[in-house]
C-alpha cells in the first residue's frame, strides 16, 4: 500500500484573485518537519502560538489552487474565513489524523449534489386572513367632531399556516 502524500480539495467559498477569478479546487501535500519549523524563523512570528504561523504553514503545503501553481501567504491571507478554517481542519486530518476522514470533512462543507432531474416544485401554501387589525376603527372623531386617524396599536395573526418541509432523500 502506497502512502498518499497529496490530497485534493474543494474550498467551501473559494479564493477570488485580483482579476476576479474564483479558485475553489486545490491540492494539499503532507507537511514535512521543515514546513512546521521554517515559519518559526520568520521575523513576523512571535512564537509557536502566533496566529500568523498558520498562514505561513498552509501556504507551504498548498501546491495548487485553481489555476494558481505558486501559493504564497498573500493568497492564504485573501481566503474567506470559512476557507481558512476548512484548510486548517484538512491539514490536521491529513497530517495527524486518519486521511480517510478527509472525504468526510469535504462532504461536510459542500452543498449536497443536486440530481440532474429537478424535483417538482411544491405548491406555495395558501394563507388567508393572516393579519387582522385589533383596533376597531382606525379613523374616528374626537369629542369636538374633528376627524382623527390613529395608527393601529397592534396586529395579530388570526391563523398560522405550516409550511411543509421537503422530505429528506
- Does the residue 159 lie in any domain? no
- Does the residue 68 lie in any domain? yes
Walk along the chain (169 residues) and give the pLDDT tens digit of each residue.
788 899 999 999 999 999 999 999 999 999 999 999 999 999 999 999 999 999 999 999 999 999 998 999 999 999 999 999 999 999 999 999 998 899 899 999 887 765 444 555 555 555 444 444 444 444 455 555 555 444 444 444 444 445 454 454 4
Helix, strand or coil for residue 7?
A: strand
pLDDT at 122: 56
- Does the residue 67 lie in any domain? yes
Q: Which residues face 22 on adjacent strands?
A: 16
CA distance 151 to 73: 58
| Whole-Å CA distances, 124 to 39, 119, 161, 163 | 56, 15, 11, 8
- Does the residue 1 lie in any domain? no
Domain count of the fold of the chain: 1
pLDDT at 113: 64
Global pTM reads 0.65
Burial of 60 (0-12, 13-18, 19+ CB in 10 A): buried
- Does the residue 82 lie in any domain? yes
Q: Which of 49, 70, 60 is nearest to 95 (CA)?
A: 60
- Does the residue 52 lie in any domain? yes
Q: What does the block give as the cell for 120?
A: 417538482
| Whole-Å CA distances, 78 to 15, 70, 168 | 7, 14, 36
Question: Domain range holding 13?
Answer: 6-109
Amino acid at each position: 500500500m502506497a502512502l498518499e502524500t497529496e490530497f485534493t480539495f474543494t474550498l467551501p467559498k473559494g479564493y477570488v484573485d485580483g482579476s476576479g477569478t474564483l479558485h475553489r479546487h486545490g491540492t494539499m501535500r503532507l507537511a514535512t518537519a521543515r514546513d512546521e519549523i521554517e515559519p518559526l524563523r520568520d521575523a513576523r512570528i512571535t512564537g509557536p502560538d502566533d496566529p500568523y504561523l498558520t498562514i505561513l504553514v498552509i501556504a507551504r503545503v498548498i501546491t495548487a489552487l485553481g489555476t494558481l501553481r505558486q501559493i504564497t501567504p498573500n493568497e492564504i491571507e485573501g481566503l474567506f474565513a470559512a476557507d481558512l478554517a476548512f484548510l486548517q481542519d484538512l491539514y490536521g486530518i491529513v497530517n495527524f489524523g486518519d486521511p480517510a476522514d478527509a472525504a468526510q470533512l469535504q462532504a461536510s462543507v459542500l452543498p449536497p449534489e443536486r440530481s440532474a432531474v429537478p424535483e417538482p416544485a411544491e405548491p406555495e401554501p395558501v394563507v388567508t386572513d393572516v393579519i387582522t387589525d385589533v383596533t376597531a376603527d382606525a379613523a374616528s372623531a374626537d369629542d369636538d367632531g374633528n376627524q382623527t386617524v390613529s395608527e393601529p396599536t397592534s396586529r395579530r395573526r388570526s391563523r398560522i399556516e405550516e409550511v411543509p418541509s421537503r422530505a429528506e432523500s
